Amino acid sequence: MTPVTTGSAGEPVDGWPPLRPELRGIEPYGAPQLDVPVQLNVNENPYPPSAACAAAIGEAARAAATRLNRYPDREFVGLREALAGYLATDGGRGLTAAHVWAANGSNEAMLHLLQAFGGPGRTAVSFAPTYSMYPEYARDTHTTWVVGRRESDFALDLDHAVAVVAEHRPSVVIVPSPNNPTGTALPQAAVVRLAEALDGSGLLVVDEAYAEFRRAGTPSALELLPDHRNLVVTRTLSKAFAAAGARLGYLAAAPEITAALRVVRLPYHLSAVTQATAVAALGFAQELLGNVDRLRVERDALVGWLRGEGLDVADSDANFVLFGTFVDRHAVWQGLLDRGVLIRETGPDGWLRVSVGTPEEMAAFRQALTEVLDRSSVPTGAEGEGRR
Ligand code: PMP
């Protein structure tokens, strides 16, 4: 794809344009969108919607098009009911349309949370390494951003997390489960302890963008919603539902929380086409989750293969795997790209993240990585056993 614009928000010349000072020189968020054969860099679902699913979405969009002279349903009640129905199949109990909120991607849903519950004089917290958009929600809502740390195996250090909460009294804590870029899921006991530590003062947002990929026996925080009034669970159609292009993310929470989000959203923020598309896609949940199962099998095989190669690999409950460690990870990333395989240079120093693709894409990745590690001069291995 040819970039239309590139670069950062530069230094204003003679004070023009009148950019907020904290935005000067900032690069817009986003991984490279390169036209290469094997794209494993943004955790997309490699399986496009089936012909039947695409036809249903097309028909729903056509019907919506006949009414495009009118604004869409501002409360998107049909979509909220459909989302509540889907969540009931994955651990959500007693959820109604009033418990559900949606936006153009879960990024926007979380921005709404910070718009309503963050703000000047307030603090939001997460624990690194984690999803790099969270500080941007804080920046854009003038919320103070505090970042704690994780254990060396990327698990949450609960005592540390509770201490950060006690010290900073955040109004919002965001923790993804599984975490991006590490793939680490949050144990239920950790969700309970953090929610209790925050009760009365803050929200605990569990970002479950990748939850459908979790391994058997890993629970969803949805199960805990009835017992914690300050718990918010966010989800998206971008990953498991193979609808990243549709831009639909959502959350479940107590009705008083979703009611507050109505105050900060722009009017008619979800287009009629988006609403129709999402409802149609939800009708294909079973079929789409079948592909999720295939990806989970492929993910586990990938973890096993990488470990067999002597690499360090973080346990993953997601549709991506963090592996390393490399003295020069950029050289590995570049070596793969030279072979037509695009992955993501992200996470702690020395680590790389690869999304799980089709069996053919994973074969291409394995082949390319083998070549890069065995046949090139890329130095591998940091410290410790099992590293190359
Ligand atoms: N949360 C996490 C952890 C993510 O990795 C992503 C996407 N990369 C999102 C939220 C946002 O996804 P979307 O806006 O497409 O729903």
Dist CA 264 CA 356 (whole Å): 36
Q: What percent of the chain has pLDDT over 90?
A: 90
pLDDT of residue 31: 84
Q: Is 320 in the pocket of ligand 1 (CB under 6 A)?
A: no
User: Measured in angstroms, how far is the CA atom of residue 180 from the centroid of ligand 1?
Assistant: 9
Q: Give pLDDT tens digits for 302-334.
A: 999 999 999 999 999 999 999 999 999 999 999
Report which protein residue has its CA nearest ligand 1's atom 2. Answer: 209
- 209 Cβ inside 6 Å of ligand 1: yes
Separation of alpha carbons 116 and 195, rounded Å = 18
For residue 351, pLDDT beyond 80: yes
Q: Is the pLDDT of residue 29 over 70?
A: yes
Second-level CATH architecture of 30-49+287-373: Alpha-Beta Complex (3.90)
Output the pLDDT for position 285.
98
The DSSP element (H or E) to which 190 belongs, if any, is helix 188-198
Query: Per residue in 313-339, is it b (16+ CB within 10 Å) or e — as a string?
Result: bbbbbbbbbbbbbbbebebbbebbbeb
pLDDT-based confidence at residue 375 (cuts at 50, 70, 90): low
Interval 76-123: pLDDT, tens:
999 999 999 999 999 999 999 999 999 999 999 999 999 999 999 999
Q: What is the pLDDT of residue 384?
A: 37
- The CATH T-level fold of domain 51-283 is Aspartate Aminotransferase; domain 2 (3.40.640)
Q: Find, among 171, 231, 178, 237, the residue nearest to 205 by Cα.
A: 231
Ligand 1, atom 5: closest residue by C-alpha:
180
Ligand 1: distance of its center to the CA of 104 in Å? 11
Residue 259 belongs to what H/E stretch? Answer: helix 255-264
Cβ neighbour number for residue 363 with a 10 Å cutoff: 12
pLDDT above 60 (res 361): yes
pLDDT tens-digit series, residues 246-302: 999 999 999 999 999 999 999 999 999 999 999 999 999 999 999 999 999 999 999
- What ligand 1 atom has the least distance to the C-alpha of 42? 8
Is pLDDT at 378 greater than 60 in this prediction? Answer: no
For the full predicted model, state whether its pTM sits above 0.75: yes
What is the reported pLDDT for 6? 56
Q: Identify the pLDDT of residue 377.
A: 54
Of 197, 191, 167, 162, the C-alpha closest to 179 is 191
State the Cα angle at 89 between 98 and 64, rounded to 5°: 60
**Residue 373 near residue 309, CB atoms below 8 Å:** yes
> Would the CB of 183 count as within 6 Å of ligand 1?
no
Q: Where are the domains of the chain?
A: 30-49+287-373, 51-283
Is the Cβ atom of 249 under 6 angstroms away from ligand 1?
A: yes
Residue 88, Cα to own-chain centre: how many angstroms?
Answer: 21
Centroid of ligand 1 to alpha carbon of 234 (angstroms)? 10
Omega before residue 49 within 30° of 0, cis? no
DSSP category for residue 82: H
Could you give the CA distance from residue 377 to residue 368 in angstroms, rounded to a whole number?
14
- Our answer on whether the CB atom of 236 is closer than 6 Å to any ligand 1 atom is yes
Residue having the nearest C-alpha atom to atom 3 of ligand 1 = 180
Atom number in ligand 1 closest to CA 237: 16
Average pLDDT, the chain: 94
pLDDT in the model for residue 380? 56
131 C-alpha vs ligand 1 centroid, how far in Å? 8
At 187-224, the pLDDT tens digits run 999 999 999 999 999 999 999 999 999 999 999 999 99
pLDDT band for position 383 (50/70/90)? Answer: very low
Verify whether ligand 1 is closer than 6 Å to residue 105 (CB atom).
yes
38 to each of 41, 243, 330, 339, 341, how far by Cα in Å?
A: 9, 19, 18, 9, 5
How confident is the model over 65-77, as a mean pLDDT?
A: 98
Q: What is the three-class DSSP state of 60? A: helix
Interval 36-59: pLDDT, tens: 999 999 999 999 999 999 999 999
Distance CA 296, CA 301 (A): 9
Average pLDDT over residues 340-355: 98
Residue 218: phi, psi to the nearest 5? -90, 120
Q: Please, what's the b/e burial string for 199-210 (b: 16 or more CB within 10 A of its CB; e: otherwise)?
A: eeebbbbbbbbb
